[in-house]
Amino acid sequence: MTPRIYLAGPDVFLPAPEAWAARKKALCAAHGLEGVAPLDPAPGLASGAAAPPGLAAWQAIAAANEAHIRSCDALIANLTPFRGPSADPGTVFELGFMRALGRPVFGYAVEEKRFAERSRIFLGAQAKRDGAGIWRDAAGMAIEDFGLWDNLMIEAAILASGGVLITASAADRGDDLAVFARCVQAAATRLGG
């Protein structure tokens, strides 16, 4: 069986998400893996009950994505920061979901700075060191700083699951697919694709 990889990421918000997903799937196929995109027809609904009538569009999307994740052997998350210091929240939700299933989760990101620095930049003048040297925001909430890429739950889940996090610096984000391809290679090695 070809290992199935769920392709989590804010890529679904691109102007032509299906075409973009096709490029990602081709890279997966080149490494012996089957890429599964969020916008693919829902598998779980076909193998299980019919979609409950009366589901709103957004509920149907979520149900399909959860079914996709359950149908996959691993997940690759696009963790490039999205409208703030952290990754897209839908992607982070899905990464946590797959982590709870006990399957490998991988991540990639194209960005220069780490989480603590991104958080300080986001907060601007509001970020101040307390007496113990800890950076805090105006509400006194600490800036997490373990030298990681994003919130510790994300990177710890990737490592504990046997996945890898691949990050790259780039003046722009045009290298997304090259970095994704490195992540696919790592997943293929891990899964024997």
Residues that bind its own copies (CB under 8 A): 10, 13-15, 56-59, 61-63, 65-66, 69, 83-90, 92-101, 119, 122-123, 130, 136-137, 139-144, 146, 148, 150-157, 159-160, 173
Q: What are phi and psi of 42, to 5 degrees?
A: -65, 125
Residue 57 or 125 having the CB closest to its own copies: 57
- The nearest distance, CB 30 to its own copies, in angstroms, is 26
Q: What are phi and psi of 123, to 5 degrees?
A: -75, -25
Residue 98 or 165 having the CB closest to its own copies: 98
- The nearest distance, CB 99 to its own copies, in angstroms, is 6
- The nearest distance, CB 100 to its own copies, in angstroms, is 4
Q: Which amino acid is at 164?
A: V
Q: What are phi and psi of 8, to 5 degrees?
A: -80, 140
Q: How far are the Cα atoms of 5, 9, 10, 35, 150 from residue 76, in angstroms, in the given order?
A: 7, 8, 12, 9, 16
- Contacts by residues 21-29 (CB-CB < 8 Å, ≥ 24 positions apart): 23/177, 24/177, 24/180, 27/177, 27/180, 27/181, 27/184, 28/184
76 bridge partner residues: 7, 106
Residue 147 or 192 having the CB closest to its own copies: 147
Residue 136 or 182 having the CB closest to its own copies: 136
- The nearest distance, CB 37 to its own copies, in angstroms, is 15
- The nearest distance, CB 57 to its own copies, in angstroms, is 7
